[in-house]
Structure 1
Amino acid sequence: MRATLRWAHSDLRTHRGEALFITLATAGIVASLLLAAALFGYATNPWQRVFTQAHGAHVWIHTAASADAGRLARLDGVDSVAGPYRTESATVSAHGTRASVELRGTPRLPSVDRPLLTAGHWLDPAEPDGVVLESSLARALLAEPGDTLTLPGTARSLTVEGIADSAEPRYSPGEQPGLVWALPSAVRAPGGQVTGLRLADPADTDYAVQRAVTVLGAGAVGEVSTWQQARAEAQGENRLLGQVLGLFGLGALAAAGFAVHGAIGTRIRGHLRDISVLKAIGFTPGQVVRIFLLQHLAYAALGAVAAAALTEALGGRVPGRIGDAVDVWQGLPGHSVTLVAVSVGAVLFIGLTTGLAAWRAGRVPPVPVPRPSAAAGGRLTGLARGALGLRLPAALVLGCHKAFAGRGRSLAGVARLALPLLLIVVALSAWTTIDRFHSSPEQVGLPAALTVRSDGGMSDPDVRALLAADSRVADAYPGVEVAALVPGQTGTIALRGLGTRTRPYPYTLAEGRAARGPDEAVAGQGLLDLLHVRVGDWVRMTVGEQPQILHIVGRSIEPQNAGRVVTTSLDTLRENDPRVSPAFYQLRLRPGADPQRVAAALTTAGHGHLDVHAVPNPADGLSPLRAVVTGLIAVLALIGLVELLTTIGGSVREGERDVLALRAIGMSPRQITMITVTSTSCTALAAAVAGTAMGLPLAHRLIDAQGSSNGIGAGIARSPSPGLLLLLGASAVLGAATLAALPAARAARRRLADTLSAVA
């Protein structure tokens, strides 16, 4: 054991940098995997906790006020019912912020889908104008208990009595109205009613919706939302961040394992005589293997422990969603098990790759085998001889020959270095795609910057005239959105009429063509997946009691409503129902116009009768991904650095056998140094080209697959700029040349006696 420790200590002193980089890389990998686990837990747990504690409803059905919603309680599979509650659509304002809301007349604290108070108190009959706000709506309005909400266009006001969490879909400007619980007396202009169904078996959700629509009639059902939709929406960007961290963490772990494997293999080839001596003095093959195995397990364990400790101590202090996720995750029951399992799993994987490489050390014979006299690169190829005949620099030709002499080890070294570079290209592609959502939203399904709605205080011609008077508004597209029952009546989708045939809405198409003729429409990926249809198919849906049959001629990139949107022109909807009139306007602004200033100006010009808000951008919630990508690139760079050090060490060690021959033919130490530098640079160049060539299509596949799973659809992926890719490749090549220069120069200037001993 003493001799083993002395060997390990000597090896550590010789390879301090490599040990440091392996430890830091392992720490980064384990930290990314732990944060991924935290984000996955955070994505699911808060909503699941609220749903469980609130005894949440599995289905919410909005119906006409005249519908006999009491019949829903007698449906098979319905365990309990919330409501029916009368509802009123309204717009509220607080602290200069407006929001569309649903006032829900709730006479008492419900037992099904019970709001969980986080501040204030529940409704008090002594305060007839008191309301309780859903927490996401309260955050949007910056409202707290005691604040007053005004209803623009009316003399009414409401007082915030409390704030509560709910398992229903959260408030989203322009997509989902906020939820406001109020006493029935505060709902003065009811436009419908809503009923919540808690099912005995949540798996029967689609069947329960179908039965409810059959009992009430399609014309009485306005909108249906389910617990699966609410859960998917609540997970949102948190799950995406977790997937990104997990994917890159596992990829980095594989790259680190291969890098350690290559480093040990190179070290074993360089210490064959020393290992033979160890065996000659009594070391068993198992002891030789354990020297390498325990040494690298110690590096990995140190990195894993450091990552786990830092995540536990400082993870909750990270600003934003990641810090919140760690705080929630640390309180979950399986937190300790996950912490240990991820750390131990990473260490064991690195130990496995270490053991496979160290096994070769155990097979080294105790009697040293003479090294082959042939040069490591083999005989010169015809191409190399031809290059020398053209009087190209000999150092350049011999260096390239040494790097690409067809050896399996050289190809393996290129592959190991290409893997972290490939993952860096994927990470840069993800960064570029997110930037595209902000810099060119019109290319990802967001051509409009603002949405304008009237509260009824202005006529439609007045609204159009006001929008046309603002020179910063390039186009104003009239639109209407209604909930439509899908075939089979198991849920509702969003049916939109946007633009007219003379002024069509500028869809962002990923497949097919734009809707130009009667009954033509484009659909999001989420809708195509939901209905199991493709571009070119006809779909039938029901709006109230009116059937609507549309021909899907294109697939649009649809970032909203999980892609469950079918869009046609306003003219097509009017042909089916002449009473359809614009409910809102989508505004496309001129280049350089500030959306916030335009929104403020339109709100002022509308004298309080217009609700103007920015079109939500799905990339707004992904700002933590930038820091995540930066950290992952740093970890991958460390892994690449380990592999470069391995490549340089192997190249220098193999070049020691050629020094005498090269000096004999008159080459100077500088030229000999350039051979090693060129060989290492060529290896890095080949790895950069291979990593880029494979990374770009892989990034497109991964990003488009993620877009399809979220309902946005394929076609959103964008590659980094050629300049950025060139910078990445140049950095890899220059870094390899810089790192190789010093050890190569030392080897080229060694004394002849030392060189002879190395060759012997």
Structure 2
Amino acid sequence: MRAVLRWEFADLRAHRGQAALMVLVTAVITVSLILANALLQNAGNPWQRTFGQSNGAHLWLHVRPGVDTAPLARLDGVAAVAGPYRTAPSTLVRSAEKVPLELRAVGPALPKVSRPLMRSGRWLDPSVSNGVVLESSFARSMWAAAGDSVTVRGLDGATHTMRVLGVADTADQGAYPNWTPGLGWVLPSTLGRIEPDPSHTAQTVGLRLRDPATTDFTAQQAVTALGSDQVTMVSTWQQVRSSMNLDNRLLGLLLAVFGLVALLAAALAVAGAAGSRVLAQVRDIAMLKAVGFTPAQLVRMFLYEHSALAVVGIVLGTAAASGIGPLLPSPLGEAMTFWQAQPDHLGALLATGVGAVLTIALATALPAWRAGRVPAVPTVRADRPVRRMSLLARLALLLRLPPALVLGARDAFYRPLRAGLTIARLAIPMLMITVALGSWATLDGFRDHPERVGLAATLTAKPSGIDAASASRLLSRQAGVAAAYPGVELQALVPGQTTTITVRGLGTVARPYPFALAEGRGIQDTDEAVAGQGALDQMHVKVGQWVRVMTGGTPRILHIVGRSIEPDHNGEMLSVGMEALEGPVGLPQPQYYALVLRPGASPSGVRAGLLAASHNQLDVQLTTNPADQLGAVRGVVIGLVVVLALIGLAELVTATGSGLRDHIRDLAVLRAMGLTPRQVTAVIVTSTSLLTTVAVLAGTAVGVLVSDRLINLQGHASGVGAGIAQMPPLGTLLLAGTIAVVVAACVSVVPAARATRARVTTALSQF
């Protein structure tokens, strides 16, 4: 064992740079895998924890006022009932911002089912008649905390100053603003004062089930028991869970995919490096066998060495992730802080480390086995069989290129199998770099061209104290507004009556809203609709089919003629023209106007002009862009590109070393024939650069295809829908490929120059 350790230490000292690079790569890969694990755990655990601690309800129904909800408690499978609670819509006014807020009337005692979990402050107190408890994500978005005062306005326009008694978590609905409106709890007397008209209120009932798997069936029973015309909205625990921490899930999946692929690329690089060392140390291995080393000992020696490097890298990566992770900006830091508090995180760390070590060890197994097969007395190396010149070398010769370039083109592909393996190992990092650039380009597309992802309207204007006709005239006179589309949103029961989706009337048949369509066509008739991917999945239909939905007790039969890109409400949107929502009293009054601005118009300037012209009777807000919530993705992409570049660099070092070892006698012969040291160096640089160029072209081509599929797959899973992927700009791809080739040339220059300085007789004596 002492001799084994001495040999391994000597080998590591002889390859310090390569060993340090592999340790660094393994450490960074470990960090990315740990962060991915934390983000994926944080994507589901907060809701699960809150649901369990609050004894949450699996099914929530919003019903009309006065409806008897007692039959719900007698349904099969219902274990407990929360409510019914009276609710009323309102608006929270904070500075120039006005956001929708649903007030829920609850008693001074915390309920047993779906109990809000207080995070700060205290629960409702009868002695504070104007008290309100806000849901935590809504309070965080409004910068409201316990002890603050907020202004709440009812439907009649009257304003009420409310005191925030506390902030609480709930599993009843998703996080704001992904789930709107916000939620606040008040006393029944407070709700009656804010909304005195009973016809403007509703009832909310929560059902806790014995078997969560029966949620859809119970929803059908509940709607049937109450009457479909009495139910305005149904939401399930699956919908709430899927909407929670969607951004964290995206980041986690991105880190996990890149981390696993990077680990595979690193394993291939380690295999290449180990194989290169075995070929370079044939005489040393033969000597070890001659003095008594068995093949098994030699195999273990190589496995121990590379596994030790992997362990060191994993330990460093784990320490870095544990120490620095909680200090990272949200959501990475928040996810790491939460995950480290979980009792099972140590097991996940151990599993990550063991998996990485086993991957590296398996990659080293084949080179180690080859080392064990080296004979104790190495045979005389025969000359390599003469092969035909490659097509590239013949083309270079035909073009009368300099001899160094012709010889470099010949040497690059002289050993086809080894050249192919080198290209494959270099192509994998380039493939994932292209995917990372595709993710970056998609985010840029969301920001720079929002109309392509369903965000044609830059501003949203809501009438407040002004009638719809006056609002429409005011908007049409604003210089920067190109078009103002009236809009209204209603909740609709889907076929089967298991849940609800949002039906949005936006624009008219004569003047349709410019939806971003990924499939089908736009709306051309009053019974036509376009649907988001989430809505199609909820209704189990495809483009071209007819659906029957129930809005406010009115059945509507619609023909889905297109699939739109929908970044809101997890894509659970069914969009129609305003005429499709016409009822007995005519068209519904617009709830808001989607404003498409003229080219070059400043959104902030148009907003300020509308507020001044309407005397603040219009609530004008910028349309929320999903790219604003995914800023952390850019930092992650940069880090992943660096990791992959390090892996590619490690492979380049190995490829250059292998090329020098295979051709060192040729280099000596070339020098003896009269080639200058610069020309000899150019041969090696050309060979490495050509291999890298082929790898860059192959990796980029496959990466563009993979990037499109991965991003669209994630878009489909999130409900936004496929069709959001953007190909990286051609200039960016050319720049990335050029940088890779230039780096490869620079990496090969130093060892090639060192080899050309060796004495000719020394080089020839190695064979």
- Which 5+ residue runs of structure 2 have no aligned equivalent? none
What does residue 317 of structure 2 align with? Answer: 307
Superimposed CA distance per residue, residues 107-142 of structure 1 (whole angstroms, 9 cap, x where no aligned partner): 232111111111221111122221111111211221
- 1:54-133 to structure 2, matched below 5 A, reads 54-108=54-108, 109-133=110-134
Residue 624 of structure 2 aligns with an amino acid whose one-letter code is P
What does residue 423 of structure 2 align with? Answer: 414
SS in structure 2 opposite 1:224? strand
Contact 2:32/2:259 (8 A) holds in 1: yes
What does residue 161 of structure 2 align with? Answer: 157
Instruction: Determine which of 166, 170, 176 is the counterpart of 1:166.
Output: 170
Distance 1:609 1:71 in 2: 44
What does residue 146 of structure 1 align with? Answer: 147
1:170 CA drift (Å): 3.6
1:51 CA drift (Å): 1.0
Superimposed CA distance per residue, residues 13-63 of structure 1 (whole angstroms, 9 cap, x where no aligned partner): 221111111000000111100011111121111111111111111111111
1:379 CA drift (Å): 4.1
Distance 2:293 2:706 in 1: 47
Contact 1:94/1:142 (8 A) holds in 2: no
Distance 1:116 1:740 in 2: 61
What does residue 23 of structure 1 align with? Answer: 23
Distance 1:63 1:693 in 2: 54
Distance 2:738 2:159 in 1: 67
Distance 2:221 2:44 in 1: 29
Residue 180 of structure 1 aligns with an amino acid whose one-letter code is G
- Call closer, same or farther: CA 1:444–1:461 in 2, change over 3 Å: same
1:263 CA drift (Å): 0.9
- 1:589-604 to structure 2, matched below 5 A, reads 589-604=597-612
Superimposed CA distance per residue, residues 269-298 of structure 1 (whole angstroms, 9 cap, x where no aligned partner): 122122112211222112222222111111
Distance 1:630 1:707 in 2: 21
Residue 45 of structure 1 pairs with residue 45 of structure 2: yes
1:386 CA drift (Å): 6.1
Distance 2:10 2:51 in 1: 59
Distance 1:432 1:184 in 2: 50
Contact 2:57/2:82 (8 A) holds in 1: yes
Distance 1:278 1:578 in 2: 94
Instruction: Determine which of 531, 535, 543 is the counterpart of 1:527.
Output: 535
What does residue 327 of structure 2 align with? Answer: 317
Distance 2:639 2:501 in 1: 39
- Call closer, same or farther: CA 1:382–1:431 in 2, change over 3 Å: closer
1:2 CA drift (Å): 2.9
What does residue 693 of structure 2 align with? Answer: 685
Distance 2:390 2:204 in 1: 80
1:538 CA drift (Å): 0.9
Superimposed CA distance per residue, residues 171-195 of structure 1 (whole angstroms, 9 cap, x where no aligned partner): 5459611111111111232421111
Contact 2:174/2:241 (8 A) holds in 1: no
Distance 2:177 2:298 in 1: 65
- Call closer, same or farther: CA 1:89–1:63 in 2, change over 3 Å: same
- 1:421-436 to structure 2, matched below 5 A, reads 421-436=430-445
1:622 CA drift (Å): 1.3
What does residue 274 of structure 1 align with? Answer: 284
Superimposed CA distance per residue, residues 71-105 of structure 1 (whole angstroms, 9 cap, x where no aligned partner): 21221111111111111111122354322111111
- Call closer, same or farther: CA 1:677–1:47 in 2, change over 3 Å: same
1:753 CA drift (Å): 1.7
Distance 1:715 1:522 in 2: 15
1:660 CA drift (Å): 3.9
Distance 1:61 1:390 in 2: 77
1:556 CA drift (Å): 0.7
Residue 256 of structure 1 pairs with residue 260 of structure 2: no
- Which stretch of the first structure deviates more once superposed, 269-278 or 630-639? 269-278
- 1:522-561 to structure 2, matched below 5 A, reads 522-561=530-569
SS in structure 2 opposite 1:156? strand
Residue 422 of structure 1 aligns with an amino acid whose one-letter code is L
Distance 2:329 2:105 in 1: 38
- Which stretch of the first structure deviates more once superposed, 705-714 or 191-200? 191-200
Distance 1:390 1:198 in 2: 79
Residue 739 of structure 1 pairs with residue 747 of structure 2: yes
Residue 351 of structure 1 aligns with an amino acid whose one-letter code is A
Residue 160 of structure 1 aligns with an amino acid whose one-letter code is V
Distance 1:74 1:599 in 2: 52
1:741 CA drift (Å): 1.2
Contact 2:175/2:244 (8 A) holds in 1: no
Residue 663 of structure 1 aligns with an amino acid whose one-letter code is R
Distance 1:462 1:390 in 2: 76
Distance 1:157 1:26 in 2: 57
- Call closer, same or farther: CA 1:284–1:155 in 2, change over 3 Å: closer
SS in structure 2 opposite 1:103? strand
SS in structure 1 opposite 2:519? strand
Distance 1:606 1:142 in 2: 27
What does residue 718 of structure 1 align with? Answer: 726
Contact 2:509/2:526 (8 A) holds in 1: no
What is the alpha-carbon root mean square deviation over aligned residues? 1.8
Distance 1:591 1:753 in 2: 73
What does residue 228 of structure 1 align with? Answer: 238
Q: TM-score, normalised by structure 1?
A: 0.97
SS in structure 2 opposite 1:547? strand
SS in structure 2 opposite 1:187? helix
Contact 1:662/1:672 (8 A) holds in 2: yes
- 1:298-377 to structure 2, matched below 5 A, reads 298-374=308-384
Residue 284 of structure 1 pairs with residue 294 of structure 2: yes
Q: TM-score, normalised by structure 2?
A: 0.96
Distance 1:732 1:700 in 2: 22
Residue 464 of structure 1 pairs with residue 472 of structure 2: yes
